[in-house]
């Protein structure tokens, strides 16, 4: 079955510390992976997608097909990074629906 797993419901780090939000997936085929972010009282928005191979707000994520992972990383966390983060996978059999992880709430403490 196609599945996205975010093992941590809550991740708490101090400002300036490295942060890694984990995402593992189960999928047979060539997936496209996304990270979405929702800041407090704001809409859910696309943070980055693996095919773009870009860094957004200092975050990067590399697709590791061997480990079926797409972890989100940032070397130095900032307080404004505190948000809910969702990992999602496109269903290539029907490229309209996303399969979502349950989300990780990141708290960056001063």
C-beta of 93: minimal distance to another protein in Å? 13
C-beta of 2: minimal distance to another protein in Å? 12
Smallest CA-to-CA distance from 73 within 56, 90, 98 is with 56
Question: How far is the C-alpha of 64 from the C-alpha of 23, rounded, in Å?
Answer: 10
**Nearer of residues 15 and 99 to another protein, judged by Cβ:** 99
Tokens encoding 109: 């403490």
Asked if 78 contacts 32 with a C-beta cutoff of 8 angstroms, the reply is no
C-beta of 110: minimal distance to another protein in Å? 25
Q: Which residues bind another protein (CB under 8 A)?
A: 9, 32, 34, 42-46, 49, 86, 90, 95-98, 100-103
């Amino acid at each position: 079955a196609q599945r996205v797993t975010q093992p941590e419901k809550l991740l708490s780090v101090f400002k300036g510390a490295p942060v890694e939000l984990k995402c593992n997936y189960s999928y047979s085929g060539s997936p496209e992976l996304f990270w979405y972010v929702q800041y407090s009282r704001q809409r859910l928005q696309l943070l980055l997608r693996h095919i773009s191979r870009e860094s957004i707000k200092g975050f990067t994520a590399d697709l590791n097909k061997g480990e079926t992972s797409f972890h989100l990383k940032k070397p130095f966390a900032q307080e404004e990074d505190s948000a809910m983060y969702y990992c999602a996978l496109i269903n290539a059999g029907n490229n309209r629906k996303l399969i979502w992880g349950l989300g990780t709430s990141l708290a960056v403490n001063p």
